[in-house]
Amino acid sequence: MARSKKISVDRRGFLKGAAAGAAALVAKPEAAKAQQAQEAAEVRRPAPLPGAKQTAAETSPPPHVDVYTTDRPGSDFMVDVLKTLNFDYIFANPGSSFRGLQESFTNYGGNKDPQWITCCHEESSVGMAHGYYKISGKPICIMAHGTVGLQHASMAIYNAYADRVPVYIILGNILDGRWRRGDVEWTHSVQDAASMVRDYTKWDDSPVSLGQFAESAIRAYKIATTPPMEPVVLVADAVLQEEPVAAEDRGKLYIPKLVMSQPPAGDYGAVREAAKMLVNADAPVIIAGRVARTPAAIPLLVELAEMLQAPIIDRHFRMNFPTSNPLYGSGSVSSADVVLGLEVPDMWYMTHSQTPINRMGMESKPITKPGAKVITIFAGDLFSKSNYQDFGRYDDVDLSIAADAEATLPMLIDECRRLITSERKSVIQARAAKYAETHRRNRERDIQQAAWAWDASPVSTARVSAELWNQVKNEDWSLVSDVTFFSNWPLRLWDFDKPYHFIGGHGAYGVGYGAPAAVGAALANKAHGRLSVNIQCDGDLNYAPGVLWTAAHHRIPLLNIMHNNRAYHQEMMYLEDMAARAQRPVDKAQIGTAITDPNINYQLMAKAYGMYSEGPIDNPNDVGTAIKRAIEVVKKGEPAMIDVVTEPR
């Protein structure tokens, strides 16, 4: 059978022809004119009428073809299930293995409660969920391919795991090979999707029926949000998503009720023992790790600290304690006779030092006074895994209470109150003046230190922090970034007292967390009209800068201040350390760590993603006014970025 010659112009061929035509017009105007005249003549010529065969083909009923439609895919039921969990948003980069669910969420679910947020990278999806939770206290549902999407997401999941943050992860997968459409779906399918992240998630399941999906979906949420909170994974099989629910089965499907577990408080006897030790101590100190799960923890911790006149050493993993309280940062482990660690994952390092000499053997010694007692209240003791080593060094403490610290605080406060006699109360309160004076001196020292390099360029991190504070202090602000790499200047100069004033750090120090966490936290703050401020490290942003587009696209108000110090300075310092130790040139430390030649222009980067931006600014006197202009943009509901060329730390 002879085939008719197909005469068509696909888009690529059309563009190729158009480009060639354009080139010809430039190169040979006379030839082009002749060609145009010929084409004009062809246009005037009448088109031939269709033949009988073509007419019949276009007007007769088509031969039988299979079409496949359904009015009730399984993914609609999955949406019904997931809506009961009250997610505000779904963060996702699109993936074919969850196309059924995505379509159901946007059409059947109305793209509301939860609303779909477009992400440019799965690491951004999880990082945003991480930041969102830290402000709102609500887990976010993220979706990803069970294979390539999860591979992208994995570092961010580990950060959330180490930071005790629940993230609800749904993975698309096509378990049945007969359903896969060609090699792409074979390469995007996996036998056991969750296995890749099982070492750093709390629970996972791969349901094979809609009924099991419903039960596992509710169970996953409950497990994720029970302290110690961790990410969980639920695999949504594509066949379950896309196949219809049989009419006779619809009435049988059941969505279990979510019953949240009460966080575990400490054993009463152990808490009473802890209270005795604290009340009778002459110099108790409290180390605050991830204490504040909820806003309620802050006043509880203040009450305990003030009742005992016990200074707080804040690890800044959460907003735990007001920085203006005289007990904030006014004590030390080395001067304490009782040390209480609340949700401190690195307790051993808080009570020991390691000598820099003989680091291969890591000589160490306690920094506590002889006879000092150490107490821990730590939900991490209730849940451990072995492969990833985030559990830290073993603590041979004196009293270990495996419990959630926030849930235990009311009992501990009651016990302390009961044990404090009037005589003891006088002794305890006598300590207050000393700590108030230490707090005042610390503050004075920080201000003195901030004055150094005030007019220097690159701009000092203290100057940037002071300029920022001047612009935000009278706003309802929220610092949505870690500031470890900013010499903690905001924590030293600003006044933190509200639960949303600070969100802490990465968890596992996986770089790339900062930008997405800030965007997620800012989205949570948006509902409250707060001014979100992100001090953004340059190295961090370069992992997945597409999150800037997400912020611009979804109109997420966020003030970004670039900490543009043009290097991975922590690693550069390590390399200098290694070179000095080996007695070799230290100037090679910049190889592989500097982000220069060319310098990255973050102002242009932000602009490219649709964000208001200014900079790069290297004159410290220009920083304040630029921030002021950017805040005006943010107050209108948009993100903005000020690119500041800064000191390393």
Other CB atoms within 10 A of residue 37 CB: 10
Beta carbon nearer to other proteins, 113 or 476: 476
Residues composing the chain: 649
Nearest approach in angstroms of CB 620 to other proteins is 11
**Residue 37 token pair:** 């005249």
Nearest approach in angstroms of CB 570 to other proteins is 8
For the segment 354-393, give every residue that binds other proteins (CB under 8 A): 356
CA 252, CA 408: separation in Å to the nearest integer?
42
235 binds other proteins (CB under 8 A): no
Among 461, 478, 532, 564, binds other proteins (CB under 8 A): 461
Beta carbon nearer to other proteins, 398 or 475: 475
Q: Is 583 left (phi over 0), alpha (psi -120 to 50) or beta?
A: left
451 binds other proteins (CB under 8 A): yes
Nearest approach in angstroms of CB 288 to other proteins is 19
Among 460, 481, 536, 550, binds other proteins (CB under 8 A): 460
Q: Name the pairing type of β-strands 168-173 and 203-205.
A: unpaired
Taking CB under 8 A as the binding criterion, the range among 64-72, 152-160, 278-286, 442-450 that sits at the site for other proteins is 442-450
CA 635, CA 503: separation in Å to the nearest integer?
21
Taking CB under 8 A as the binding criterion, the range among 3-11, 465-473, 514-522, 600-608 that sits at the site for other proteins is 465-473
CA 86, CA 617: separation in Å to the nearest integer?
43
Nearest approach in angstroms of CB 578 to other proteins is 8
142 binds other proteins (CB under 8 A): no
Beta carbon nearer to other proteins, 515 or 645: 645
**Residue 487 token pair:** 């010499």
Side chain identity, residue 240: L
Nearest approach in angstroms of CB 175 to other proteins is 49
Long-range Cβ contact pairs of 320-323 (< 8 A, separation 24 or more): 320/288, 320/291, 320/292, 321/288, 322/298, 322/495, 322/496, 322/497, 323/491, 323/494, 323/495, 323/496, 323/497
Closest CA to 551 of 137, 139, 128, 159: 128
Yes or no: say if 623 and 464 are a contact pair by the CB < 8 Å rule.
Answer: yes
Yes or no: say if 511 and 543 are a contact pair by the CB < 8 Å rule.
Answer: yes
**Residue 319 token pair:** 């907003």
Nearest approach in angstroms of CB 648 to other proteins is 5
Among 369, 452, 608, 629, binds other proteins (CB under 8 A): 452
466 binds other proteins (CB under 8 A): yes
456 binds other proteins (CB under 8 A): yes
The rounded Cα 295 to chain-centroid distance in angstroms is: 19
- Per-residue contact track with other proteins, 565 to 604, x per CB under 8 A? ----x--xx--xx-xxx-xxxxx-xx--------------
Beta carbon nearer to other proteins, 33 or 445: 445
The SS3 call for residue 138 is coil
Nearest approach in angstroms of CB 202 to other proteins is 33
Q: Give the start-end residues of each E strand in 468-557.
A: 477-479, 531-537
Among 487, 525, 534, 613, binds other proteins (CB under 8 A): 487
Q: What is the DSSP letter of 107?
A: I
Side chain identity, residue 129: A
CA 365, CA 370: separation in Å to the nearest integer?
11
Provide the angle, in degrees to the nearest 10, between the axes of the packed helices 432-451 and 461-472: 110
**Residue 494 token pair:** 């600003």
Nearest approach in angstroms of CB 461 to other proteins is 7
Among 106, 449, 542, 601, binds other proteins (CB under 8 A): 449
Nearest approach in angstroms of CB 73 to other proteins is 54
Other CB atoms within 10 A of residue 128 CB: 32
Beta carbon nearer to other proteins, 257 or 584: 584
Among 426, 470, 621, 625, binds other proteins (CB under 8 A): 470
For the segment 489-548, give every residue that binds other proteins (CB under 8 A): 493-495
268 binds other proteins (CB under 8 A): no
Beta carbon nearer to other proteins, 308 or 483: 483
The SS3 call for residue 288 is strand
Which residues would be at the binding site for other proteins (CB under 8 A)? 356, 447-456, 458, 460-462, 466-467, 469-470, 473-474, 484-485, 487-488, 493-495, 569, 572-573, 576-577, 579-581, 583-587, 589-590, 647-649
